[in-house]
Amino acid sequence: MDKTLLRAACVLVLGWWLLAPAAGPAVAIAAASTAPLPPPSGYHVRAGRMHDAEGRVVQLRGINHFGFNAPILQPQFLWKMGWKAQIAQIRALGFNAVRVPFVPDTLHVTTPVDQLSWLDGAENRALVGKTPLQVLDLWMAEADRQGLYVVLDFHSVSAQRQYPTWFVDTPADFALMYHGRAYTEQDWIDDLVLVAGRYAHLRHFLGIDLYNEPHGIVRWAAGDRPASDPKYHWKTAAEKAAAAVLTANPDLLVFVAGITGNWDGIEDSTIPMNYGENLQPQAYQPLQIRADKLVLSPHTYGPDVFGKSTFDAPDFPANLAAHWEALFGQFHPRYAVIIGEWGGHYGRGPEAHPDDVIWQNALVDYLRGKGIDNSFYWCYSPNSRDTGGILDDALQVREDKMALLRRHWGRD
C-alpha cells in the first residue's frame, strides 16, 4: 500500500494512540476501551518482539554512537576517522542498529560542523560547511543505505549536559540552551515531530526515544507529594509526545525510558536505581500508548558508571536479577523491553572497577534467561569516560566486549 495513503488513514483514526494495553500484575485497573485497534503501520510489536512492515521479526543488535548530542554536534572521532567508514565498521562488527543521541542544537544551530570540531582528511570533506542538521541528514541516509536500523534519541535539552527534564523554565539554566531562553514542552514535541517527519522516507528509520533518562524532580505520575506538579510527570508528557510522533510518522516505534524513583508508596523504592532504569509504575499506571507501537527502554549500568549498595552486598552478583526483574524485566514479553544503554570499561583501563566484568556478565546471563536479545550497548567510540567503547583508545576493536555481545545476541 502507498505509505502516504496509509499514513493519512492512520491520522484520521482519532485517539487510537490512547488505547491502553492490559494492566500490569501489581494493581488491576479498568480497561480504557474494548474497541479493536486498527492494524499497525510500519514497525510494530507483537508478543514482546519487534516486527517490520512485512511482519518479519527484527532483532536489534544495537550500539550507541554519540556526538550529535555534544558540543561538536557531529559523530565522535571524525578528527581521526571517516564518517562513512564508521558506519561500515559498525555494520561489519555485527551490529544492525544504532541509537543516535541528538539535542535541540543539532536541529537549530547553523554553525558549520567543521567550525565546531576538526574534521580529518578527504573522507570527511563532504561535511565541510554543513550545519549539524545537514550532517545528520547525510548520516541518516548513509546508515539507511548500508542497512542499519536507526533509533533517534532525544538525549537532552542541552548539548552541555544531561538535563533532568524535557523542558527548561528556570532562568538560571537558560544559558544551557542554544538560544539562551526557555525551552518548553511544546518545543520538545515540535522537535520530535520535526525528525519523525524529516526521515520518514528512510526504510531503516525504526523509532524515536522520546527523552533520555528523565530524573531528579521527575516522577511517573501523581502520588509523590514533593513532586505533585503535573509538569514533572513523565507518563503524561510521554503520552503527549508519542501521540504527536505517531501522527507525524505512524511507521515508527516509540521508545520510553524509565525514571529514577516514583516514591508513591506502591513501587519498591528501596531498590537502588540508575537514571532511566525504573519502570515499576508501568505495572499499575500504564502508559496510554498503543502497545504495538511502544518499546519500554530502561538504562542499566554497573559499578563503572554508578555506585549502588547492591554491588557491595554480600550476595552480589546473585542479588542483581531480582532487582532487574522488578525494575523492568517483569514487563517482558507483555511489552517489548529493549535496554537503551548498558556497558562499562569491562575490566580494562584506569577507570575500570574490578566488579564491572562480573556485573556485565550477570546482566547478559539474566537477559538470556528472559529471552531478551535486543539492546543498545554504550558505546562505539572510546571517549565515553565512564564506559570506554567497542573501540579502544588506539581505535582497535575490543574483542572481549564483542564476545560478550555475541553471547547476548545468541550468536556465541
Question: Whole-angstrom Cα distance, residue 140 to residue 168?
Answer: 28
Angle between the 234-248 and 185-198 helix axes, to the nearest 10 degrees? 30
For the cut 80, the answer to whether the pLDDT of residue 58 exceeds it is yes
In a domain? residue 199: yes
**How many domains does the chain contain in total?**
1
Q: Give the residue-averaged pLDDT of 326-339.
A: 98
pLDDT at residue 4, rounded to an integer: 38
pLDDT at residue 36, rounded to an integer: 67
Asked whether the beta carbons of 299 and 258 are under 8 A apart, the reply is yes
In a domain? residue 327: yes
**pLDDT tens sequence across 230-279:** 999 999 999 999 999 999 999 999 999 999 999 999 999 999 999 999 99
Q: Which of 54, 213, 267, 399 is catalytic?
A: 213
pLDDT at residue 228, rounded to an integer: 87
Q: Which residues have CB under 8 Å from 30's CB, separation 6+?
A: none
In a domain? residue 198: yes
**Measuring CA to CA, how many Å separate 194 from each of 108, 187, 302?**
11, 10, 35
Strand residues in 40-198 grouped as ranges (E): 44-46, 49-51, 57-58, 61-64, 97-102, 149-154
CATH code: domain of residue 213? 3.20.20.80
pLDDT confidence of 40, banded at 50, 70, 90? Answer: confident
Strand residues in 65-197 grouped as ranges (E): 97-102, 149-154
Question: Whole-angstrom Cα distance, residue 167 to residue 188?
Answer: 7
Question: Whole-angstrom Cα distance, residue 63 to residue 403?
Answer: 14
CB count within 10 Å of CB 351 equals 14
Q: Give the residue-averaged pLDDT of 369-380.
A: 98
pLDDT at residue 3, rounded to an integer: 39
In a domain? residue 24: no
Instruction: Answer yes or no: 341 catalytic.
Output: yes
* First-residue to last-residue Cα distance in the chain: 39
In a domain? residue 230: yes
Instruction: Answer yes or no: 213 catalytic.
Output: yes
For the cut 50, the answer to whether the pLDDT of residue 20 exceeds it is no
Q: Domain of residue 261: give its range.
A: 38-409
Q: Give the residue-averaged pLDDT of 55-61.
A: 98
Quote helix, strand, coil % in the chain, to nearest 5: 35, 15, 55
**pLDDT tens sequence across 105-131:** 999 999 999 999 999 999 999 999 999
Q: Give the residue-averaged pLDDT of 339-350.
A: 97
Residue 168 DSSP label: B
pLDDT confidence of 13, banded at 50, 70, 90? Answer: very low
25: left (phi over 0), alpha (psi -120 to 50) or beta: alpha
In a domain? residue 26: no
Q: Give the residue-averaged pLDDT of 311-337.
A: 98
For the cut 50, the answer to whether the pLDDT of residue 360 exceeds it is yes
In a domain? residue 270: yes
In a domain? residue 11: no
pLDDT at residue 227, rounded to an integer: 85
Q: Which of 239, 267, 277, 341 is catalytic?
A: 341
HSE-up (13 A, CA, CB side) for residue 406: 10
Determine if the peptide bond prior to 10 is cis (ω within 30°).
Answer: no
pLDDT at residue 33, rounded to an integer: 38
Determine if the peptide bond prior to 39 is cis (ω within 30°).
Answer: no
